[in-house]
Structures are given as C-alpha cells and as structure tokens.
Amino acid sequence: MRQAGRYLPEYNEVKKLHDFFTVCRTPELACEVTMQPIRRYSGLLDASIIFSDILVVPQAMGLEVQMLDKQGPHFPDPIRTAEKAMELANKEVDVKKELGYVYEAITLTRHTLAGQVPLIGFAGAPWTLLAYMVEGGGSRIFRFVKTFIYQNKKEALALLDRITTVCIDYLAQQVVAGAQLLQIFDSWAGELSQADFAVYSLPFLKRISQELPKKLEALGVEVVPLTVFAKGAWWALEELAESGYSVVGLDWTHDPQQARRRVAGKVTVQGNLDPNVLYGGKEVITKYVKDMMESFGAGDEGRKKYIVNLGHGITQWVDPEDMKHFLEEVHRFGKQMPE
Ligand code: CP3
C-alpha cells in the first residue's frame, strides 16, 4: 500500500520544499522518498513500492490534476460529457514520453536499492481512474461517475478501454525500467454493484492480466507477477482469483480463513490489517498481527502463498514507532509459523 507518506517526518521535510507532483516528476526526489521507509525500517520491509500516484495516468492522457493540501486530488476540468469522453477515448497516448519521469525514477531507485529488496511498480485500475476523471476528485456517493456510466454506457466503455490500453503500456514500461512486480489498485471497485463490476471493472482488469505478459514477452523483459487489489469488492474474490493475477490483495473486511477457502490455493493472498489498528497502540497491534497471521496461516498452506500487508494505505497520523512495532511483530510471528 502506501509506504512513504505524511506519517514520516522525513517525507514531510521533502514536502515542505516541493509539491506532491513535483516529487513524483523528479526522479531524485521520488527515489529519495521511496528509500525513506526502506532506510528507517531497515531489514523489516521485504519490498519497496515506487513513489508516484495512480493519477499520473489521467495527467498523461491530458487532464490536469492537482494535489490539494488536506483535500486530496482535484481535477479542475473533469470529464462530464460524452463528447469529451470520446475525445479522450480516441486519443493515443505516448506513455513512453509522457511518463518517462516514472521510468527514470524506477531505474534510479533499482540502482539505489542495490538488491536490498525488490521494487514494485503500480497503476490504478481503469474503473478507479475513470471514477476520478469524472468525479474530479474523491467522493462519498459517486454521483457524477454513476450518472455518466448510466447515461453514456457506450462512451464509458470506450474510455475504459483506452485507459486500459494506456495502463498496459505504462505498466510494461515500468518493467523495462526495472519494476519487479506490478500492483493494480482498484480502490473504488466496491462502489459498484456486483453486476456493474462485471461490466465496468472486471473485463478491464482481465485485459491487463491477459495482454501485459504478452507485451512483456514482446519487449524481451521478464514476465513479472501481477497483484490485483479491488477494495470493497469482497463478493468478487472467486472471480479475482481466476482473473489471471498471481496475487489478490484483501482489505480488512475479509475473514482470512474464509478468504483462503474461497481462493482455494489458486493465488497468493495479501493483506489485510485495518490500517487504523495502528492507532491502537503496541499491545493492540501485537494482538491483531498475531490473530491475522494465525488466521491466514491456519489453512493447509501454512505460511505459503501469503504476503503480510495492511488492508489499505497507511494514514498520516500513525506514529512511525507503531509502524515499526507492527513490522517487528510480523517478523516475530512469522518465525514461529510452520513452514
Ligand atoms: O508508498 C509509496 O510511496 C507509494 C506511493 C503511492 C501514493 N499513492 C503516494 C501518495 C501509491 C501506491 C499511491 C496509490 C494511490 N493514489 C491510490 C491507490 C491506493 C489507495 O489508496 O486506494 C489512490 C486512490 C491514489 C489517489 C490519491 N493520491 C489520493 C486519494 C490521495 C489523497 C490521500 C490522502 O491521504 O489525503 C493521494 C495523495 C498521495 N499519494 C499521498 C501519497 C504519499 C499523500 C499526499 C501528500 O503528501 O500530500
């Protein structure tokens, strides 16, 4: 999820001098911020995730996106008409050019990591990106994007298809640059009904998992594992486990043992601690980590096919020492689990 961010004083120091997207666009700064948690929690993190944002893709497609203090992402001119949607749906995007700064940041960070831990690349899922592009920011009720898909189904699907094409190219170039695993964030998956998820999200997630490996082969680079995280879409777990991804990320609404049963060994599962547990203090963190790991480990698979993670991104009020305690406890309980 989010490793760097406002809970780290060293990140806030960087942010005093540079705005959010400047950090994303400056490879040295993106590398520095990616390295911060790796340095602070030396030996405790098993992977790093490149510092960037899912909203660099809408930017590459020509939309303006700002990151406002305390409010989050803001699109001054969101997509609200079928005409505008079709204009973007028909527009080819040169991702190599538009997002070159991300690939530079990835390559620089791979060199800087020097093999300490692998580097994860990522992109937003098409549905989540469409939601941001139409809403113009975060939302609680998703009035605009829902209006849009129910009034303009054809155009919405055409735009989702274009976003998917851009994401596939973008993810492939991240691997060329040095990313060793890729994660797709469908943060707003759970805002759709099951039936609409099958129309507006899943087919595009599947296009990514089907076409990306072929693209990587054609580019002569390693076919890396893919992780899908569809937040809130607890009902789609079986389908996600069969959608061509190696790893399915789980939010905290899943019961670990039940999730294990439902994926039936087809994929690795990742998750799923409620990040707000980190506000509970050390004793509470210990209890929740133990319960989570025992519960994921209790199946036939022992500790295999399981990646410990939070069930969503870390938030800004977490004490970095509590995060450290979480990581230490994960290692302590991990050592006690059967092979
Ligand atoms: O750990 C890392 O360094 C990874 C970098 C990363 C960021 N965003 C940096 C970031 C990743 C993997 C993301 C993904 C992302 N961005 C998602 C998918 C995951 C999820 O959280 O559901 C989404 C939906 C976004 C869009 C986005 N970016 C939002 C909604 C916000 C505001 C969040 C908030 O807490 O206010 C951001 C901003 C953002 N992206 C921050 C960071 C570190 C904090 C902003 C800041 O420093 O001002």
Give pLDDT, residue 338. 73
In this prediction, residues 280-306 reach a mean pLDDT of: 88
Which residue's C-alpha comes closest to atom 21 of ligand 1? 313
Q: Please give the Cα distance from 146 to 236 (Å, whole number).
A: 20
pLDDT band at 70 (very low <50, low <70, confident <90, very high): confident
pLDDT in tens, 216-245: 999 999 999 999 999 999 999 999 999 999
Specify the pTM.
0.97
Please report the atom of ligand 1 found closest to the CA of residue 6: 47
Q: Please give the Cα distance from 42 to 35 (Å, whole number).
A: 10
Among residues of the chain, what percentage have pLDDT more than 70?
98
Tokens of residue 325, six digits:
């305690």
Q: Please give the Cα distance from 339 to 317 (Å, whole number).
A: 35
Give pLDDT, residue 147. 98
The ipTM assigned to this model is: 0.93
Q: Yes or no: say if 178 and 106 are a contact pair by the CB < 8 Å rule.
A: yes
Give pLDDT, residue 336. 86
CA of 2 to the centre of ligand 1 (A): 7
Q: Please give the Cα distance from 37 to 323 (Å, whole number).
A: 10
Q: Give the start-to-end residue ranges of the domains of the chain.
A: 9-175+183-219, 250-339
Length of the chain: 339
Q: Does the CB atom of residue 135 touch ligand 1 within 6 A?
A: no
pLDDT in tens, 156-211: 999 999 999 999 999 999 999 999 999 999 999 999 999 999 999 999 999 999 99
Pick among 3.90.1640.10, 3.20.20.210, 3.40.50.1820, 3.30.428.10: CATH of 9-175+183-219: 3.20.20.210
Please report the atom of ligand 1 found closest to the CA of residue 70: 36
Q: Does the CB atom of residue 183 touch ligand 1 within 6 A?
A: no
Mean pLDDT of the chain: 96
pLDDT in tens, 272-282: 999 999 999 99
Question: Best of 22, 53, 65, 66 to mutate for ligand 1, by most ligand atoms within 8 A of CB?
Answer: 53
